[in-house]
Chains A and B, each alone.
Chain A
């Protein structure tokens, strides 16, 4: 082995975390969408908030390999926290956002301490149970949550005291985009760090991680908490921009939907959510207009096609195509 190729190998490995030009694309598109589709900003803000939720789900599912059917628990806790504060005189969206992250993170930490001791199907069941329990609790505690009627009387103040939420969604869009950008920056830093790589190791082979001295349980609880905080932020964004919180934010249905979205895009790839979430939500918006009765069928068909023909989602398929192009000169 020559010294030159050694240096080359190490440099290739070390270059992996650097920003590539392609990574600017989502942000360019998001800014462009603001000007191109001024009538769809409300939907746009929802997509951006859901994207943050998708990023948080990808951290646990795609990177750490924790199969969860209850990720909406944290999203919902975040949404109710921000909603409750706004309905009780604390209308600052930033404070609501931070409070939502703290509350969701606490729920993630405590439930993680119990759930993450188990593996496989048990995890799946326990995450689902946490989500169902929280939804049922929210349903019963009508004095706090408004129960089945939803949370009433939110009054969200202008962002930073300057930008009032308007009915066209201008402020909502930029606010959601800003928070998403911060969430992305944090997520990206984590997945390229030694901690993030060790999560991938846990996903690939727990037995070996134990054998190299990794405190696996502690790592999993840490990422579960961080992910819960990001999901909570996403929930707060939805609550603040729509000024509405109802029981569906805590539903198992939503927990499943977010998985479908990131699986469509490709899990464990950071950008899977950026493809899957907008695709799903735009398709949902279009299909439900074209075919209001059976729109879910078309979403289902899309998922079946992706799972059958594009393991690794749309990004995985794109990777495979690119590789083929590179090989054949």
Chain B
């Protein structure tokens, strides 16, 4: 059954000295999943994303992408195997145009980004694909504007667009709605709902509205340990979860 997982971690551990940010995490993300990872601040959610993507090296344990061990591979090599992510705080090329942000990602995916004689603008297929992607996300009208000139909510969409430019099989969204005014959260949710259903999606999120709208499976992480995993209904009803995390957030 292992091979059928889009992403899997086995007894994944990471500690900084005495602080364990990942404590024997066993996690499975199925193809086409809509999975949320929730937990209180400092639970190790972003560390988990950093471990999976290779920003951090794990202390022990295994990470498998599509059944293949990628634990010792670099970030770039994992991306080449279909793993993409977004960041909790925008990591964009702020001085470059929106179109160029996405073009850079597509060029890397297509393996043309190392070419130093052909003008980037002449790669029509790449630019057209980037534009079409922006169009799909509803930000094509700002394609030529520098990212830093955009409202934060729209920058969040560029953040997602760059990741989608990699045509990922596994997409990790680290708090896609963080910092977005609540009036614009709806747009983000719609974009996520319209994603290609074959992408295995893992969302880390604090916004419970978003989690319960999108996720069909939820994992709760507390102090680097998986507390419980289940369907949204199960999670909402779980007394442990209510105690350590949801608390007053769940409306009566």
Contact = CB atoms under 8 A, between A and B. Distances in A.
Interface of A: 1, 5-6, 9-10, 12-17, 189-190, 192-198, 200-201, 204-205, 207-216, 219, 222
Contacts, number: 135
Nearest to A12: B144
Given A9-B99, A197-B100, A211-B75, A192 B166 contact: no
Given A13-B99, A207-B87, A196 B120 contact: yes
Interface stretch (B18-26, B127-135, B216-224): B127-135
A87 B4 CA distance: 69
B107 interface: yes
Given A6-B135, A194-B115, A212 B121 contact: no
Nearest to B123: A194
A213 B80 contact: yes
Which bucket holds chain B's interface residue count? Answer: 35 or more
A197 B100 CA distance: 9
A13 B127 CA distance: 8
Nearest to B159: A208
Q: Point out which of A5, A17, A215 has the most chain B C-beta atoms below 10 A from its C-beta.
A: A215
Interface in B86-133: 87, 91-97, 99-100, 103-105, 107-109, 112-124, 127-128, 131
B140 interface: yes
B85 interface: yes
Interface of B: 53, 55, 75-77, 79-80, 84-85, 87, 91-97, 99-100, 103-105, 107-109, 112-124, 127-128, 131, 135, 140-141, 143-144, 162-163, 165-166
A177 to B, nearest CB: 23
A204 B135 contact: no
B104 A212 contact: yes
B80 A211 contact: no
B8 to A, nearest CB: 21
Nearest to B114: A195
A41 to B, nearest CB: 34
B87 A14 contact: no
Given A9-B140, A200-B96, A212-B105, A14 B79 contact: no
Given A201-B96, A213-B79, 7 more contacts: A1-B140, A6-B140, A9-B143, A190-B117, A198-B104, A208-B87, A211-B91
A122 B161 CA distance: 34
Contacts of A197: 100, 103-104, 107, 113, 120
